[in-house]
Amino acid sequence: MARLANKVALITGAASGLGAECARAMAAEGAAVLLTDRDPAGQDVADAITAAGGRAAFAAHDVSSDQQWADAVRTCLARFGRLDILVNNAGISGGRHALADHDLEAWRQIMSINLDGVFLGLRHVGGVMAAQGSGSVINLSSILGKVGLANAAAYCASKGAVLMLTKAAAVEWAPLGIRVNSVHPGFIDTPMVQNALHQAENGNEMRDLLISAHPLGRFGVPREIADAVVFLASDEASFMAGAELVVDGGYTAQ
C-alpha cells in the first residue's frame, strides 16, 4: 500500500529544487498533489508527474499574498476534494547582506516570503484540516534557523521564526488532529544553492568551505529532504508534533 494513498497535498515553491522533488515523491507514494509556485515552470513538473501516472495539477501562487493563498486552497479543494498535507516550502535566500548595511526593503522581502508565507499557509489550511479532524503541515526551515551564518541575518531570522511558529501551531492544533513539524536541511544541491555560489565572487572556494562544514563531506541531494517530508506527512509519523527534523549531514552536530 502506498504510504500517502488517498491523501491530497499542497506544496508551495514546487517549480524547483526541494518542492519539485517533494511533489514527485508524494505523487509516487499515492498522493494527489497541487503544486504551486510564482514560477509557471511548476506546470511542467505537474505535467511530468501526470505523464508518469501520478495525480497532479499546478496553480500560480505567490505565498506572500493572502488573496492568492485563498485562491490556492480553493483550487485544491475544487480539484481534489480535500487537503491532508501542506508543505510550506517556498522560500528565497535573499542574497548576502552585511548586517550594518542591511537594506530594510530586502529584509522585509525575505520576511514576507519565508515567514509571512508560512504563517498565511497555516492560517488558510487550519479551518479545512480542523473540519476534517486531521492534517499534516511540514514547514521548511533550515539549519540556519538553528545556527547563524554571517551576512545572512534576515534568512536566519526568518527560518528561526519558522521553527517557533511550527511549535506554537503544533501545540495549538494537536488537539484538533493536525500535526505541524519543521524540517531543517543542511546545504542541498538545488538551484537556490547553485545560484548563490554562481553569484559569489569566490564561489568555488565557498563551495569547498561549505562542503567541509558537513561531516558527511558533501551537499545533500533533494531526494534526501523529500524522504523526510514524506515521512512526516505519512501515518508513520503519527506521534510527531512540533518536532525539528534535522537532515544536515552532521552540520549542526558539531
Name the residue among 155, 14, 146 with its Cα closest to residue 85.
14
The DSSP line for 44-77 is HHHHHHHHTT-EEEEEE--TT-HHHHHHHHHHHH
Q: Minimum distance between the CB of residue 188 and ligand NAP, rounded to whole angstroms?
A: 4
- The three-class DSSP label of residue 247 is strand
Does residue 63 interact with ligand NAP by CB under 6 A? Answer: yes
Which is nearest to 96 in space by CA: 211, 195, 218, 225? 195
121 touches ligand NAP by CB under 6 A: no
Reported as type and span, the H/E element at residue 181 is: strand 178-185
**Contacts with ligand NAP in 83-112 (CB under 6 A)?**
89-92
For ligand NAP, the closer of residues 1 and 105 by Cβ is: 105
Smaller CB separation from ligand NAP, 10 or 90: 90
Options 28, 147, 192, 247; binder of ligand NAP; rule CB under 6 A: 192
CA distance 23 to 230: 10
What's the maximum distance between 2 C-alpha atoms anywhere in the chain?
54
Pick 225 or 241: Cβ nearer ligand NAP: 225
Measured distance CA(179)–CA(193) in Å, rounded: 29
Binding of residue 140 to ligand NAP (CB under 6 A) = yes
Based on the residue annotation, tell me whether 155 is a catalytic residue of this protein: yes
3-state secondary structure of 23: helix
What nine digits make up the cell of 225?
529532504
Q: Report if residue 116 touches ligand NAP, rule: CB under 6 A.
A: no
- Please state the closest distance from residue 175 (CB atom) to ligand NAP, in A: 28
Nearest residue to 19 (alpha-carbon basis) of 27, 29, 11, 28: 11
Position among 190, 213, 241, 246 found at the interface with ligand NAP (CB under 6 A): 190
Query: Whole-number minimum distance, CB 240 to ligand NAP, in Å?
Result: 19
Residue 19 binds to ligand NAP (criterion: CB under 6 A): yes
Q: In angstroms, rounded to a whole number, what is the distance separating the alpha carbons of residues 132 and 156?
A: 34
Residues binding ligand NAP: what is the number (CB under 6 A)? Answer: 28
Site for ligand NAP in 204-233 (CB under 6 A): none
44 is a site residue for ligand NAP (CB under 6 A): no
Q: Which is nearer to ligand NAP, 18 or 23 (CB)?
A: 18
Of the candidates 155, 187, 219, 251, the residue annotated as catalytic is 155
Record the cell numbers describing residue 154, joined without a space. Answer: 534576515
Cell of 31: 498522493
* Residue 193 binds to ligand NAP (criterion: CB under 6 A): yes
Q: Which residues are catalytic?
A: 155
Question: What residues make contact with ligand NAP under the rule CB under 6 A?
Answer: 12-13, 15-19, 37-39, 61-64, 89-92, 113, 140, 142, 185, 187-188, 190-193
